[in-house]
Amino acid sequence: MLTILLLLLPLVLSLIILLFKDERSIRTVALTGALVEFGIGIAAFIQYKTSCHCNLLFSADWLSTLGVSLKFGMDGISLLLVAMTTFLLPVIILASFNHSYTRPAAFYSLVLFLEMALVGVFTAFDGLMFYIFWELALIPAWFICAVWGGDDRIRITFKFFIYTFAGSLLMLVALIYLYFRTPLPHSFDFQWLYAVKLSPVEQIWIFLAFFVAFAIKIPVFPFHTWQPDTYTTSPATGSMLLAGIMLKMGIYGMIRWMIPICHQTLQQWGSIAVILAITGIVYASLIALRQDDLKRLVAWSSIAHMGLITAGVLILSQKATTGAVIQMVSHGINIVGLFIVIDFIEHRTKTRSIAELGGIATRAPRLAIFFMIILLASIALPLTNGFVGEFLLLLGLFENNTVFAAIAGLTMIFGAVYMLWMYQRTMLGKTNELTGAIPDLTRTEMATLIPLVVLIFWIGLYPSFFLDIVLPDVQQILRFMR
């Protein structure tokens, strides 16, 4: 029941919010709604943790002649990602209050609609449902970026839309193919799809279709070219939604669909994909070293981080996959935090150019402290959330192939280089005309960042709480390994 409630609430809200006219009440509805949704998320979490590990399943027939059912549920992996989504949404909405978006009703309606679609992606236990929500998520995301975005947004978002859409069509083809290979009456139910026996050649094709679809979304090198431009041009809220939550759809899809269905191909040919992912880590880190736009720098760092997560998922290791799930959540928290900080800086100085900034710590020490904590988390300092995931991912990689781990480990060094460089050039040094008179964080702004920092340390200090939820289901997905 909770699952379906999680799905319906944002949908209903996204419609209700259109009835409101003035910005204040729209904001109130959006934030309250997102908080209620978060409350339901917590309730689901508690129910899962305490009473049952019963997948919180909801199932209803729909188009039963076609074998499509409204089957939604949550295992540990879904649960964690849904919890992350519902947690980040109020934070992102609160952070958006610094901006006065034109047509706010439409804006927040799209944001809530996107939340619904994301929850749908993470909870669908039916192949076609997964695909439908996957595409549903793209539409509000595209509108948010294309309508409220910055310079050159039409060209950039067009590329983003076509590119990711082309990828998802490949996924649809793969899903339909699998559907016709299920025994009569055909079904899109994930258990049925998992059970399909494919010949090695078939599996390679299915793998390729899935891989390209997910790789574009994540994005994995060399399918990443839409990403830096899109993140940079999107409105702040859009970047947070895209980088914080949406790109996890790709990794999630890999874990939920690609691995169980194509594991033989992965065992044989997976290392080629792993090499791509690891190349991406080094490639993106190197490029991040010389970016001047704060958002673009973070976008590149995100490609590097996602490269590591992807590599970890592709090697079919229990540790690395568990680490990947934790790292998805951590990355969501950290990158949203970084984008929020950048947004606060831009809001104050009207620039994102690193060269024009400096000395902010003098004027805004609180902002500097929050920035430092989030930055340390994203360079994986122990006792922050970033370390747990990175440790497990790298250890998993190491068990698989020491050279991969050594190269992927370079992210530890490069990450420190570009992040500290960014921090130094924006926060430290002497103030200038732009930064000389800026105010420190307001209470609302603090309220936005504090939840993130709490989770950074919670996951960093006591990750067992989260790992225990994920591990059984990772074992379930990787059970063919034994």
Partner 1 sequence: MTLIVVLILLFPLLGFLVLGLGFRNIPAKVTSILGPGTILISFILSILTFFNFTISPSHHFTISLFHHLTTSPVHELFSWISVGDLQIPFGLLIDPLSILMLLIVTGVGFIIHVYSIGYMKNDPGYNRFFAYMNLFVFSMLLLVMGSNYPVMFIGWEGVGLCSYLLIGFWFKNHEYNNAAKKAFIMNRIGDLGFLLGMFLLFTTFHSLNFQEIFAGAKSMEPGNVTLMAITLLLFVGAVGKSAQIPLYTWLPDAMAGPTPVSALIHAATMVTAGVYMVARSNILYALSPTTMAIMGITGLATTLFAASIAIFQNDIKKILAYSTISQLGYMFLALSVGAFTGAMFHLTTHAFFKALLFLAAGSMIHALGGEQDIRKMGGLSKKLPISRLTFLAGVLAIAGIPPLSGFFSKDEILLKSFEFGHFIWFIAVIGSLMTAFYMFRLFYLTFSKDFRGTEDQKHHLHESPAVMTIPLITLAVLSILGGLLNIPAIFGGNSSLEAFLSPVFTDAGAILEHQTPLTPSTGWILMGITLAGVLVMILWAYQRYVKQDKGLLPDEASRSVIITLISKKYFVDEIYNLIVVKPVLWISQFLHRFVELRFIDRMVDGVGQIVVRTGNTLRFIQTGNVGFYMFIMVLGIILILFFNILI
In 3D space, the residue among 369, 359, 338 whose CA is nearest the CA of residue 432 turns out to be 359
Which one of residues 39, 43, 54, 382 is an interface residue with partner 1 (CB under 8 A)?
Answer: 382
Which one of residues 62, 165, 462, 480 is an interface residue with partner 1 (CB under 8 A)?
Answer: 462
Stretch that binds partner 1, among 230-238, 251-259, 342-350, 427-435 (CB under 8 A): 427-435
Check residue 417 for interaction with partner 1 (CB under 8 A). Answer: yes
Which one of residues 467, 469, 473, 477 is an interface residue with partner 1 (CB under 8 A)?
Answer: 467
Stretch that binds partner 1, among 63-71, 78-86, 120-128, 382-390 (CB under 8 A): 382-390
Check residue 424 for interaction with partner 1 (CB under 8 A). Answer: yes
Check residue 219 for interaction with partner 1 (CB under 8 A). Answer: no
Check residue 482 for interaction with partner 1 (CB under 8 A). Answer: no
Check residue 391 for interaction with partner 1 (CB under 8 A). Answer: yes
CB of 103 or CB of 155, closer to partner 1: 155
CB of 42 or CB of 406, closer to partner 1: 406
Q: What is the per-residue burial (b if ≥16 Cβ within 10 Å, else e) of 108-123?
A: bbbbbbbbbbbbbbbb
Check residue 146 for interaction with partner 1 (CB under 8 A). Answer: no
Check residue 451 for interaction with partner 1 (CB under 8 A). Answer: no
CB of 194 or CB of 421, closer to partner 1: 421
CB of 332 or CB of 396, closer to partner 1: 396
Check residue 167 for interaction with partner 1 (CB under 8 A). Answer: no
CB of 405 to partner 1, least distance (A): 6
CB of 128 or CB of 469, closer to partner 1: 469
Check residue 394 for interaction with partner 1 (CB under 8 A). Answer: yes
Check residue 476 for interaction with partner 1 (CB under 8 A). Answer: no
Check residue 212 for interaction with partner 1 (CB under 8 A). Answer: no
Check residue 446 for interaction with partner 1 (CB under 8 A). Answer: no
CA atoms within 13 A on the CB side of 455: 22
Stretch that binds partner 1, among 36-44, 135-143, 263-271, 381-389 (CB under 8 A): 381-389
Which one of residues 212, 392, 438, 477 is an interface residue with partner 1 (CB under 8 A)?
Answer: 392
Stretch that binds partner 1, among 69-77, 131-139, 145-153, 281-289 (CB under 8 A): 281-289
Check residue 434 for interaction with partner 1 (CB under 8 A). Answer: no
Asked if 44 contacts 1 with a C-beta cutoff of 8 angstroms, the reply is: no
Q: What is the 3-state secondary structure (H, E, C) of the chain?
A: CHHHHHHHHHHHHHHHHHHCCCHHHHHHHHHHHHHHHHHHHHHHHHHHHHCCCCCCCEEEECCHHHCCEEEECCCHHHHHHHHHHHHHHHHHHHHHCCCCCCCHHHHHHHHHHHHHHHHHHHHECEHHHHHHHHHHHHHHHHHHHHHHCCCCHHHHHHHHHHHHHHHHHHHHHHHHHHHHHCCCCCCCEHHHHHHCCCCHHHHHHHHHHHHHHHHHHCCCCCCCCHHHHHHHHCCHHHHHHHHHHHCHHHHHHHHHHHHHHHHHHHHHHHHHHHHHHHHHHHHHHHHHCCCCEHHHHHHHHHHHHHHHHHHHHHCCCHHHHHHHHHHHHHHHHHHHHHHHHHHHHHHHHCCCEHHHCCCHHHHCHHHHHHHHHHHHHHCCCCCCHHHHHHHHHHHHHHHHCHHHHHHHCHHHHHHHHHHHHHHHHHHCCCCCCCCCCCCCCCHHHHHHHHHHHHHHHHHHHCCHHHHHHHHHHHHHHCHHHC
CB of 64 to partner 1, least distance (A): 37
CB of 429 to partner 1, least distance (A): 5
CB of 276 to partner 1, least distance (A): 12
Check residue 407 for interaction with partner 1 (CB under 8 A). Answer: no
Total site size for partner 1, rule CB under 8 A: 52
**CA–CA dist 30, 111 (Å, integer):** 9
Check residue 429 for interaction with partner 1 (CB under 8 A). Answer: yes
CB of 212 or CB of 245, closer to partner 1: 212
In 3D space, the residue among 341, 342, 349, 336 whose CA is nearest the CA of residue 439 turns out to be 349
Which one of residues 64, 191, 267, 402 is an interface residue with partner 1 (CB under 8 A)?
Answer: 402
CB of 365 to partner 1, least distance (A): 8
Cα dihedral 59, 63, 66, 67 in deg (nearest 10): 10
Which one of residues 439, 464, 476, 481 is an interface residue with partner 1 (CB under 8 A)?
Answer: 464
| Residues in touch with partner 1 (CB under 8 A) | 159, 162-163, 222, 225-226, 283, 286-287, 289-290, 318-319, 322-323, 359, 361-362, 365, 376, 381-383, 388, 391-392, 394-395, 398-399, 402, 405-406, 409-410, 412-413, 416-417, 420-421, 424, 427-430, 462-464, 467, 471, 475
